[in-house]
Structure 1
C-alpha cells in the first residue's frame, strides 16, 4: 500500500512539474502591455506649519515591457506620467491649496511568474524607481512657488496575465510604491518646508502581446 502511495505521489509531482515547465515563460520572451492606471496616493506629510498633505488620484494610460532573463524570471519597466494636485490640510492656517506637479516615476521590477495553466499566469515582483517631478505650478496666494525634489523609491507588485489567444493576453496588476520627497514652498507668510510621503497605489488593467 505504501509503495503504491509513493508511486502515485511521484507520478503526481512529475505531472505537476511537467505542467509547470510546459507553461513556463521562456528566457528571451518579451511582453509588451498597454494599460489604464488608477493612481491613488496614500499621502501624508510633516510640515513646518503643522498639518499634513492630501494628493488627488488620477487615471492615466501606461505602457510597460517585461523581458525574461530566465524561465519565469522577468524584468519589467513601466513608463507613465501623472499630474497631481496637492493640498496642505489641518495646518496652523487651515487648509491651503499648494499647487500641482507632474510625476514621472520609471520603475524597474524583478518578477517571478508562476504559470498555473496555459492561460492563467500570475506573478509577483519588487523593484526600484526614480521619480522626476516637473512642471510644478503654485496654486497662488498665499503660495508663491512649489518645488519638489526628485527622489528614489521602492515598489512591490502582484498581477496576472490571462491569455486570450496565442499572441494576446489580458493583464491585471497592482503596485505599491514607497515614495517620499522634500517640498519647498515659499509663501506670503514665509518659507514652508515639508517631508511628503506619497506612497501611491497603482492599479492597472490592460491588454498585452508576446514577442
Structure 2
C-alpha cells in the first residue's frame, strides 16, 4: 500500500511538473514599457566629468522561442531611448549633451515550473548579449564641436516573473542589467568611456502561441 501511494504521488508530481512546463516549440510575444536607469556613477571622459545621465521610459516588444521545455531564446526591441546628460568641464562649469540609442538584447532564458510555486507564478532568469547603437548625439559647447558615442557590445542579465492570467496570457514584471560602456569621441578624438551600465525595469503583457 505504501509503495502504491509513493508511486501514485511521484506520478502526480511528474504530471503536475509537465503541466506547468512551457513546451519546446512555443512562441511568446510581449508588449510593454521599460524604464532605463543609468548608473549614478558614470565616470569621466578625460578632463570632462559626467555629472549625471537622465533616465527614460519607452515602449518595448519581445519575442521568445522555446528551444526546449522551459528554455527560451528571447530578443528585446524598443523605440529609441533619449538621454539628457550634464557634463562637468575642467573650469568647473557645466554643459549639457544628449543622445538617443537602441538597445536590442538577445538572451537565453530558463523559466521555472513546479518548486511548490503557485500555479500562476512563473519566475525566470536569463543571460545574454546586448548591442547598443547611439545616434543624434549633441553637445551644447558652441558651434563646431562634435560628440560621437560609439556603438557598444556588452553582457546582459535578466530576471523576472510572469503572472499567468490563463494558459496563454500573462503580465510580466522584469529587470535587466546591461554592461554598457561605450567609447566617446569629441571632435574626432577619443576622450574616454561613458560608464552607463543601466538597470532596465519592465512591465509588459505576454501572449504565448
TM normalised by structure 1 equals 0.86
How do residues 44-193 of structure 1 correspond to structure 2 at under 5 angstroms?
44-49=42-47, 51-80=49-78, 81-89=80-88, 91-115=89-113, 116-141=117-142, 144-186=145-187, 193=191
Residue of structure 2 in register with 1:21 after alignment: 18
Q: Taking structure 1 as reference, are residues 82 and 9 closer, same or farther at Cα in structure 2, changes over 3 Å only? A: farther
Structure 2 contact 45–184 (Cα < 8 Å) conserved? no
Shift of 1:134: 1.0
Q: Taking structure 1 as reference, are residues 20 and 97 closer, same or farther at Cα in structure 2, changes over 3 Å only? A: farther
Q: Secondary structure at the match of 1:44?
A: coil
Q: Secondary structure at the match of 2:182?
A: strand
Structure 1 vs Structure 2 CA RMSD: 2.5
How do residues 192-211 of structure 1 correspond to structure 2 at under 5 angstroms?
193-211=191-209
Q: Secondary structure at the match of 1:18?
A: helix
Q: Taking structure 1 as reference, are residues 208 and 99 closer, same or farther at Cα in structure 2, changes over 3 Å only? A: same
1:143-197 deviation per Cα after TM superposition (whole angstroms, max 9, x unaligned): 822110111011001011111123321011100001111111249xxx6712111
TM normalised by structure 2 equals 0.87
Gaps of 5+ in 1: none
Structure 1 contact 53–196 (Cα < 8 Å) conserved? no
1:110-148 deviation per Cα after TM superposition (whole angstroms, max 9, x unaligned): 000002444211100000011111111222438822110
Q: Secondary structure at the match of 1:205?
A: strand
Q: Taking structure 1 as reference, are residues 7 and 178 closer, same or farther at Cα in structure 2, changes over 3 Å only? A: farther
